[in-house]
C-alpha cells in the first residue's frame, strides 16, 4: 500500500519530488531559482539534504505560502504552517573582518555548470585555522551548507552584495 508523504517545512525536497513529481512545476512557477533542480547532479546532492524550509529561504519565499501551494497541488489538506519569516540578514557581527578572509570562493561558475560545490566548501572550511575566515559567494543564501557547518560548530554571517550573497565562515 502506497502511503502519502506529508508536506511540511521539514520535508526533504527529493523525497517530496519522488512522491509527487508534479510538484516540480509548482516550484518552477514559484521561483526561477528552482530550475537548478532539473540538473541531475544537484538533484542527487542538494535536493536530498535540503528541506522545504531551507529552499524557501534560498528562494526568499514565504515558507507558509510555499507549503500551502505544494499541499494544494498534491491534493493534501491545508496545514497549519509555521510561517516563520524567510532568512533575514542580521547586522554584521564583530568577528567579521575582511583582513582575516584567507579565501573568497565564488561558487557561481560551479553552480552554472550544474555541479555542487558542497564538498569543496566543507573541505575549505575544515582547513580554516583559528581567526581565519572563508568567504563564499553564491547567487542565493546557501542554507543547506550553512546548516551542515553550524552542526560542525562553525559560525557564519551572510550579506547581500550586488544580487549575490556573501557568506563568511569561521571556526567557533
Q: What is the pLDDT of residues 38-73, one digit of tens each?
A: 888 888 888 888 889 888 888 888 888 888 889 889
Q: Which structural domain, as residue segments, surrounds residue 132? A: 98-171
Q: What is the pLDDT of residues 108-133, one digit of tens each?
A: 898 877 788 999 999 999 999 999 99
pLDDT higher than threshold 70 for residue 3: no
In a domain, 44, yes or no: yes
How many Cα atoms occupy the beta-carbon half-sphere of 83 within 13 Å? 6
pLDDT computed for residue 79 by the predictor: 55
Q: What is the pLDDT of residues 6-29, one digit of tens each?
A: 888 889 999 999 999 999 999 999
Residue 134 dihedral angles phi and psi, to the nearest 5°: -105, 130
Task: Give the confidence band of 153 by pLDDT, cuts at 50, 70, 90.
Answer: very high
pLDDT higher than threshold 60 for residue 86: no
Residue 47 dihedral angles phi and psi, to the nearest 5°: -65, -25
Mean pLDDT of 131-148: 88
> Are 107 and 150 part of one and the same domain?
yes
> Are 103 and 167 part of one and the same domain?
yes
- Overall number of domains in the chain: 2
**Residue with cell string 566548501:** 121
Q: Is 145 in a helix, a strand, or coil?
A: helix
CATH number at residue 103: 3.30.110
> Are 60 and 121 part of one and the same domain?
no
User: Cβ atoms within 10 A of the Cβ of 125, count?
Assistant: 20
| Cα–Cα dist 76/7, whole Å | 8
| Cα–Cα dist 108/144, whole Å | 16
In a domain, 155, yes or no: yes
> Are 54 and 116 part of one and the same domain?
no
**Which is it for the CA torsion 123, 126, 128, 131, positive or negative?**
positive
Amino acid at each position: 500500500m502506497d502511503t502519502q508523504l506529508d508536506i511540511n517545512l521539514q520535508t526533504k525536497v527529493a523525497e517530496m519530488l519522488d512522491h509527487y513529481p508534479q510538484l516540480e512545476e509548482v516550484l518552477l512557477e514559484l521561483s526561477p531559482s528552482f530550475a537548478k533542480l532539473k540538473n541531475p547532479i544537484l538533484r542527487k546532492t542538494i535536493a536530498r539534504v535540503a528541506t522545504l524550509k531551507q529552499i524557501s529561504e534560498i528562494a526568499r519565499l514565504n515558507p507558509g505560502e510555499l507549503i500551502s501551494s505544494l499541499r494544494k497541488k498534491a491534493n493534501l489538506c491545508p496545514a497549519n504552517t509555521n510561517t516563520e519569516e524567510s532568512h533575514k540578514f542580521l547586522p554584521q557581527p564583530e568577528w567579521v573582518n575582511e583582513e582575516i578572509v584567507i579565501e573568497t570562493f565564488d561558487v557561481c561558475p560551479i553552480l552554472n555548470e550544474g555541479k555542487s560545490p558542497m564538498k569543496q566548501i566543507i573541505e575549505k572550511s575544515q582547513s580554516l585555522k583559528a581567526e581565519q575566515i572563508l568567504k563564499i559567494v553564491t547567487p542565493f543564501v546557501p542554507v543547506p551548507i550553512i546548516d551542515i557547518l553550524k552542526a560542525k560548530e562553525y559560525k557564519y554571517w551572510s550579506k547581500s552584495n550586488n544580487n549575490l550573497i556573501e557568506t563568511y565562515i569561521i571556526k567557533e
